Amino acid sequence: MFKHILLPTDGSLASEISIQQGVRLAKEINARVTGVYIIPAYHVMVDQNAMLGDSEEQVDIESTALALQFLEVIEREARRAGVQCDSVHAINDRPYEGILKMADDKGCDLIAMASHGRTGARALLMGSQTLKVLTHSKVPVLVFR
């Protein structure tokens, strides 16, 4: 059936729960997993004549450290279960696009991810990366709520 599962994370509790479930599924069907975290691209904010925010280099350092921290959760869970795992991070302002690109690049045949269950105005304003992955994915998507 499925041989390679992509496990996206945003570092949230919902993601951690979906990671546990995704790794458990991988173990049961003898699949491998790839963890992915999508880092937003660096943008400079300008207020009149002053630039706000950290330097691009500092943001890169902090974003990469955060990505590695989130991905370690997936790697640790996979090690505990005896599931083959690799992890990657990429930069993309649209996380769903980064997730889909990584699934394609890595040859994943299933994406297993969390839904935060936002509804109403919050869902409309914040957008649902899970919904966008579901809408645009060429491979099956398993959503954990």
pLDDT at 59: 82
Q: In terms of C-beta density within 10 A (0-12 exposed, 13-18 middle, 19 or more buried), how is residue 7 classed?
A: buried
Q: What is the structure's pLDDT at 41?
A: 86
Cα three-residue angle 28-31-32, rounded to 5 degrees:
130
Banded model confidence at residue 116, pLDDT cuts 50, 70, 90: confident
Give the C-alpha separation, 113 to 143, whole Å: 5
Between CA 22 and CA 15 the distance in angstroms is: 10
Cα separation, 104 vs 137, whole angstroms:
9
Percent of the chain residues past pLDDT 90, beyond the cut: 74
Query: Mean of the pLDDT values across residues 20-49?
Result: 88
Residue 125 scores a pLDDT above 50: no
Please check the confidence at residue 108 and state whether its pLDDT lies above 60: yes
Q: Report DSSP state, residue 11.
A: S
Q: Are 34 and 9 in contact (CB under 8 A)?
A: no
Q: Given a cut of 90, is residue 111 above it in pLDDT? A: yes
Whole-number pLDDT of residue 120: 53
Quote the domain boundaries for residue 73: 4-144
Instruction: Output the pLDDT for position 38.
Output: 97
- Report the alpha-carbon distance of residue 93 to residue 71 in Å, rounded: 19
Q: Over 50: is that where the pLDDT of 50 sits?
A: yes
pLDDT, mean over the chain: 89
How far is CA 145 from each of CA 29, 65, 136, rounded to the nearest angstrom? 21, 27, 19
The structure's pTM equals 0.87
pLDDT band at 54 (very low <50, low <70, confident <90, very high): low
DSSP type of residue 100 = H
Domain holding 59: CATH number? 3.40.50.620
Q: Domain tally for the chain?
A: 1
Higher-pLDDT residue of 23, 128:
23
Q: What is the mean pLDDT of residues 40-51?
A: 65
